[in-house]
């Protein structure tokens, strides 16, 4: 089993099934004891903001706020630096515990020994 799972989610409300799959896989991995790092990029960047996940609705899917809480309880959520800048999102705006970091940090995470990466 991977020591760390790095998941990059590029979709938001524009592709709800792909978005939900990324958050679901991250939450299940975290609940299974896998170290999880979830990266919010593209349209998923909006879910770094308080209240935005509650607006997301996909039938037969777990509520996004619950998945985020599960991921944060056992893992790390990161908002892409450039994605945040393009949306005028700053560190003052994001949910508690969400960090903003760039490609250098992402690359170091996916290249670490024992890491596996998924992109949705």
Quote the pTM value: 0.95
Helix (H, G, I), strand (E, B) or coil at 57: coil
Q: Can you give the pLDDT at residue 114?
A: 94
Q: Can you give the pLDDT at residue 2?
A: 61
Q: What is the mean pLDDT of each successive set of 10 residues along the chain, which is 120 residues long? A: 89 97 98 97 98 97 98 96 98 98 98 96
Nearest alpha-carbon partner for 2 in 96, 54, 75: 75
Residue with tokens 């706020």: 65
Measured distance CA(86)–CA(120) in Å, rounded: 20
Q: Can you give the pLDDT at residue 63?
A: 98
Which helix (H) or strand (E) segment holds residue 104: the answer is helix 103-110
H helix runs in 8-102, sequence order: 16-31, 64-74, 81-86
């Amino acid at each position: 089993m991977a020591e760390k799972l790095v998941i990059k989610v590029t979709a938001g409300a524009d592709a709800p099934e792909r978005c939900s799959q990324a958050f679901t896989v991250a939450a299940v991995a975290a609940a299974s004891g896998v170290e999880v790092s979830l990266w919010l990029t593209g349209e998923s960047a909006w879910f770094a903001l308080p209240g935005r996940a509650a607006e997301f609705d996909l039938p037969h899917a777990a509520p996004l706020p619950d998945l985020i809480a599960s991921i944060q309880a056992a893992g790390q959520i990161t908002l892409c630096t450039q994605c945040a800048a393009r949306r005028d999102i700053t560190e003052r705006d994001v949910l508690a515990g969400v960090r903003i970091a760039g490609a250098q940090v992402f690359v170091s995470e996916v290249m670490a020994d024992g890491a596996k990466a998924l992109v949705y």
